[in-house]
Chain A
Amino acid sequence: MSLLDVENLRVSFDTRQGVVEAVRGISFTLGQERLGIVGESGSGKSMTGRAILRLIRPPGRVEADRMALEGEELQSLSERQMRKVRGRRISMVMQDPKFSLNPVMTVGEQIMEAYLLHARDSRRAARRKALEMLEAVAIRDPERVMKAYPHEVSGGMGQRIMIAMMLIPDPRILIADEPTSALDVSVQRRVLSIMDTLVRERGMGLIFISHDLNLVSEFCDRVLIMYAGRIVETCEAARLHEARHPYTRGLLNSLPRLDQPQDRLEVLARDPAWAGGDA
Chain B
Amino acid sequence: MLDVDGLNVWFGAPANRVNAVQRASFYVETGESFGLVGESGSGKSTILRAITGLAPDWSGRVDVDGRTIYRDRRDRDFYKTVQMVFQDPYASLHPRHSVDRVLSETLKLHGMDRIEWRVPKLLDDVGLGAKFRFRYPHQLSGGQRQRVAIARALAGEPRLLLLDEPTSALDVSVQAEILNLLADLRAERGLTYVMVSHDLAVVGHLCQRLAVMQSGRIVEMLEVEQLRRGEAEHAYTRSLLAASVAGGRTGTEGGAELSPAATGS
- Count the A-B residue pairs with Cβ separation under 8 angstroms: how many? 166
In this complex, the member of B39, B45, B170, B173 whose beta carbon has the largest number of chain A beta carbons within 10 angstroms is: B173
A187 at the interface (CB under 8 A from B): yes
The stretch among A84-92, A106-114, A153-161, A167-175 that forms the contact with chain B is: A153-161
State how many angstroms separate the Cβ of A131 from the closest Cβ of chain B: 17
The stretch among A5-13, A50-58, A117-125, A258-266 that forms the contact with chain B is: A258-266
A102 at the interface (CB under 8 A from B): no
Expressed in whole angstroms, the Cα–Cα distance for A101 and B166 within the complex equals 22
Given the known interface contacts A156-B198, A182-B169, A218-B258, the answer about A41 and B142 at a Cβ–Cβ threshold of 8 Å is yes
Mark out the residues of chain B between 176 and 221 whose CB falls within 8 Å of any chain A CB in the assembled complex: 176-177, 179-180, 183, 198-202, 204-205, 215
Interface size on B (CB < 8 Å)? Answer: 63
Q: In the bound complex, do residue A214 and residue B262 qualify as a contact, i.e. CB atoms below 8 Å apart?
A: no
Between A and B, 24 residue pairs with Cβ closer than 8 Å are A39-B171, A41-B171, A96-B88, A140-B41, A155-B40, A182-B87, A184-B39, A184-B240, A187-B40, A189-B243, A189-B261, A214-B248, A217-B255, A237-B255, A254-B176, A256-B175, A256-B179, A256-B201, A257-B248, A258-B228, A259-B248, A260-B248, A264-B180, A265-B205
Expressed in whole angstroms, the Cα–Cα distance for A219 and B243 within the complex equals 13
**Contact check: which of B165, B215, B254 meets A182 at CB < 8 Å?**
B165
B11 at the interface (CB under 8 A from A): yes
A279 contact set on B, CB distance < 8 A: none
9 nearest A-B pairs in the assembled complex, by CB-CB distance: A156-B40, A211-B171, A184-B198, A256-B205, A265-B176, A254-B176, A185-B243, A268-B173, A214-B247
State how many angstroms separate the Cβ of B235 from the closest Cβ of chain A: 10
**Contact check: which of B174, B236, B250, B264 meets A241 at CB < 8 Å?**
B250
Expressed in whole angstroms, the Cα–Cα distance for A42 and B141 within the complex equals 7
Interface size on A (CB < 8 Å)? Answer: 62
State how many angstroms separate the Cβ of B93 from the closest Cβ of chain A: 13
**Contact check: which of A182, A192, A262 meets B40 at CB < 8 Å?**
A182
Q: In the bound complex, do residue A261 and residue B205 qualify as a contact, i.e. CB atoms below 8 Å apart?
A: yes
A241 contact set on B, CB distance < 8 A: 250-252
Q: In the bound complex, do residue B169 and residue A254 qualify as a contact, i.e. CB atoms below 8 Å apart?
A: no
Q: In the bound complex, do residue A218 and residue B248 qualify as a contact, i.e. CB atoms below 8 Å apart?
A: no
**Contact check: which of A139, A190, A251 meets B173 at CB < 8 Å?**
A251
Expressed in whole angstroms, the Cα–Cα distance for A260 and B247 within the complex equals 13
Given the known interface contacts A185-B198, A186-B239, A251-B173, the answer about A258 and B244 at a Cβ–Cβ threshold of 8 Å is yes
B177 contact set on A, CB distance < 8 A: 267
A246 at the interface (CB under 8 A from B): no
From B248, which residue of chain A is reached at the shortest CB distance? A257
State how many angstroms separate the Cβ of A42 from the closest Cβ of chain B: 5
State how many angstroms separate the Cβ of B10 from the closest Cβ of chain A: 12
A235 contact set on B, CB distance < 8 A: none
State how many angstroms separate the Cβ of A25 from the closest Cβ of chain B: 22
A98 at the interface (CB under 8 A from B): yes
Given the known interface contacts A182-B198, A196-B263, A258-B200, the answer about A144 and B18 at a Cβ–Cβ threshold of 8 Å is yes
Expressed in whole angstroms, the Cα–Cα distance for A260 and B264 within the complex equals 30
Expressed in whole angstroms, the Cα–Cα distance for A217 and B168 within the complex equals 18
Given the known interface contacts A256-B179, A258-B245, the answer about A40 and B254 at a Cβ–Cβ threshold of 8 Å is no
Given the known interface contacts A189-B261, A251-B173, A264-B180, the answer about A218 and B41 at a Cβ–Cβ threshold of 8 Å is no
In this complex, the member of A98, A144, A215, A265 whose beta carbon has the largest number of chain B beta carbons within 10 angstroms is: A265
B128 at the interface (CB under 8 A from A): no
State how many angstroms separate the Cβ of B196 from the closest Cβ of chain A: 10
B160 contact set on A, CB distance < 8 A: none
B137 at the interface (CB under 8 A from A): no
Given the known interface contacts A186-B240, A257-B201, the answer about A155 and B245 at a Cβ–Cβ threshold of 8 Å is no
Q: In the bound complex, do residue A186 and residue B39 qualify as a contact, i.e. CB atoms below 8 Å apart?
A: yes
Q: In the bound complex, do residue B255 and residue A238 qualify as a contact, i.e. CB atoms below 8 Å apart?
A: yes
